[in-house]
Structure 1
């Protein structure tokens, strides 16, 4: 069975409203002959004359009168569907957003973001989920609405990204550590016992590359998968760790922080989302709030 031409719905709506081929042609900016052909197609499709001559004009058949209200509603609904989305009213938004973030984001930005969202949109709930690995699959398949982190080349070309802030690495030790006193040179820094943070379990990082360029190596005592675990070890033992500054502000409370004695490039923390959510009003609103919170912190 062939599919009907849905454009005929709009044509029929105008014909029934005008009750005239000439009037409908004028309204649709068609020639009278083109409108007559359209009426012929409608008659063939519906199996009904729809409009028949009565004197100098046309009158609707019972079938046409039966269809008129239904057709008008269909055209109205289709027109509404194809319009741009209405301006969002956050106070009426009922939605849960799943945000996947690297460690430290929730601890440092989560409370401010939750408070901002609660003020603007009481019906919105944020669900923060862990980021055990990289990759765009959770964004692509819809398990996650937004991701916060550092973008790598293998995160997927289809992902949209926007920068939030730059972060730099700093050194952290416990209050009783020798590095809390005196000048911290590269050699003195390298001579301590270190914790390396590597989610993938690597035994070297950017700090090691920077030290190697100076002919130095450091003694890595242990490797952990996250900043909070590394900083917990630093609190309990005479160890050194390098962590991103803004991502660990809350986690470093009570510890001694110092500038690293080696040059490391800053990292850009970004938010990532799938293109299908680009124009989604609720998602646009969420991204605006994440940007605002990161700018204020």
Structure 2
């Protein structure tokens, strides 16, 4: 192993990602000729062509496709191992981009105070909030995400997590809705309403339907939207009702209700508690800057949501 050059690992990671000598050279700050020589060395070292010409483009060989994910993870691990650990963390001088993923409802409440807090402590840090299409752990494994916020899944047991807060669903309808003619909202009257459901996958069924079914009731879901803010806006302008996590309405008061014309109510059925956690890959456990990020997210959540 005396002749192993770890710089080749970084170059291989970028080459497989770009599938272009010119693109890889640009990312690594090298000339195209230097990058071409590096590709030649990689071919000699691995005994595989890695990238081959297909018309005007390069395409990966089956071997390259098979090792691409491993190479990316190894590169991230090597960079983490070799990152300096000594000395105090200088947040004022810290220059780093963190990528976080959370749903729209969480961002509406926590993003602004989180950005304010982070930039006050570390003004050179940059934050990227990525969309949350699913619960796939692959972006955490590949280093595309630094932190994912949401309900802890079970598909990736190695992923580390920290509980941020516990949440619960509450009902929402417009002020003046017939549902409020009687303060005691029964299961039958609730189920008889038209409903707006929230689902990223576009499904019409959720935990409320399971709870109603156990009691012999069924509701009519008229609309499905991808985010809780969308559901609240539809409810505000219609006779439909919905349910959202209480955290989506943090700080909601009677004054807010007068403006938004929304009124909260306790659901007449019991739904599972929602545990919201911050999740990250174990490679970032010992990273002091990531530890600071995790602590800051947890602190801001507790302050904003009073939990």
Q: TM-score, normalised by structure 2?
A: 0.67
Distance (whole Å) between structure 2 residues aligned to residue 85 and residue 161 of structure 1: 25
Distance (whole Å) between structure 1 residues aligned to residue 97 and residue 194 of structure 2: 44
- The one-character-per-residue Cα deviations of 1:36-77 (angstroms, maximum 9, x if unpaired) are xxxxxxxxxxxxxxxxxxxxxxxxxxxxxxxxxxxxxxxxxx
Structure 1 position 142 matched with structure 2 position 143: yes
* Deviation of 1:83 (Å): 7.3
Distance (whole Å) between structure 1 residues aligned to residue 86 and residue 179 of structure 2: 57
Aligned partner of 1:284 in structure 2 is 291
Q: Which has the larger radius of gyration?
A: 1
* Deviation of 1:158 (Å): 2.1
Aligned partner of 2:2 in structure 1 is 3
- The one-character-per-residue Cα deviations of 1:148-176 (angstroms, maximum 9, x if unpaired) are 0011222x122111100000000011113
Aligned partner of 1:158 in structure 2 is 158
Q: How many residues align?
A: 219
Alignment of 1:1-297 (within 5 A): 3=2, 84-154=85-155, 156-182=156-182, 183-249=184-250, 254=260, 255-297=262-304
Q: TM-score, normalised by structure 1?
A: 0.69
Distance (whole Å) between structure 2 residues aligned to residue 250 and residue 180 of structure 1: 22
SS at match of 2:202: coil
* Deviation of 1:193 (Å): 0.5
CA distance 1:123–1:215, change in 2 (3 Å): same
Distance (whole Å) between structure 2 residues aligned to residue 85 and residue 180 of structure 1: 61
Query: For structure 1, which runs of at least 5 residues remain unmatched after alignment?
Result: 5-80
Where do 4+ consecutive residues of structure 1 move more than 6 Å?
none
Query: For structure 2, which runs of at least 5 residues remain unmatched after alignment?
Result: 4-81
The two structures, once aligned, show a CA RMSD in angstroms of 2.0
Distance (whole Å) between structure 2 residues aligned to residue 248 and residue 140 of structure 1: 32
